[in-house]
Amino acid sequence: MSEASTRVVADADVLAADLLCDGSSREALDHVRAHSWMTLVASDHLLDDAEAVVAELADAELAADWRDRIEQDVESVEHPPSDHPGLASAYRGEAAHLLSFDRGLGSAKAGAGMNKHMSLSVRPPDAFARLFDPESLYEAVVGDEYPGPDVDPRE
């Protein structure tokens, strides 16, 4: 298993839901945040989209505060503005996972097209949260016994 397996992209809708709702998006991203060896990847375009969703659903001040915070927690990647922000972030960031509510991205047809260019698992956050197995992933990627979560995901 490659280190790409430890790299995750969350689409704008998932990032906004993580902030605004207590549900599967938060649970999925808490799995990522709870492990220092996992990496959340995002482009500025993806963060722009998520910030706009937060501003629309909550308010601009919360959106700006969220953006300041999330920029410290992600590994930033660049891509052309015309690309799909989630897919391009995954491709450019060599991520193995894309969390999205977009059923079209998770379809068999989309998967077949994407797999020509990259190996990417597109799942809704609830599926990722349910299937994420940090112990086996850690042992496969790091090659050591899993020490457990090493970061408080709520800090």
CB under 8 Å to 125, separation ≥6 — which residues? Answer: 10, 14, 17, 23, 24, 25, 27, 28, 29, 99, 101
pLDDT for residue 104? 75
State which of 50-54, 117-121, 138-142 shows the largest mean pLDDT. Answer: 50-54
> What backbone phi and psi angles, to 5 degrees, belong to 10?
-115, 125
Judged by DSSP in three states, 98 sits in strand
Judged by DSSP in three states, 10 sits in strand
pLDDT for residue 119? 78
Q: How far apart are CA 121 and CA 115, in angstroms?
A: 9
Rounded to the nearest integer, the mean pLDDT of the chain is: 91
Helices 44-57 & 60-73 angle (0-180, nearest 10): 150
Q: Is the model more confident about 118 or about 56?
A: 56
Query: From edge to edge, which strands make up the β-sheet containing 75-77?
Result: 75-77, 39-43, 7-10, 97-99, 121-123
Domains and their CATH numbers in the chain: 3-141 (3.40.50.1010)
Confidence grade of residue 155 (pLDDT, cut at 50, 70, 90)? confident
Average pLDDT value for residue range 43-52:
98
- Interval 103-139: pLDDT, tens: 877 655 555 555 656 678 899 999 999 999 999 999 9
Q: How far apart are CA 141 and CA 41, in angstroms?
A: 18
pLDDT for residue 3? 79
| Token output for 87 | 């897919």
pLDDT for residue 1? 60
Return the number of other C-beta atoms located less than 10 Å from residue 120's C-beta: 20
Q: What is the pTM of this model?
A: 0.91
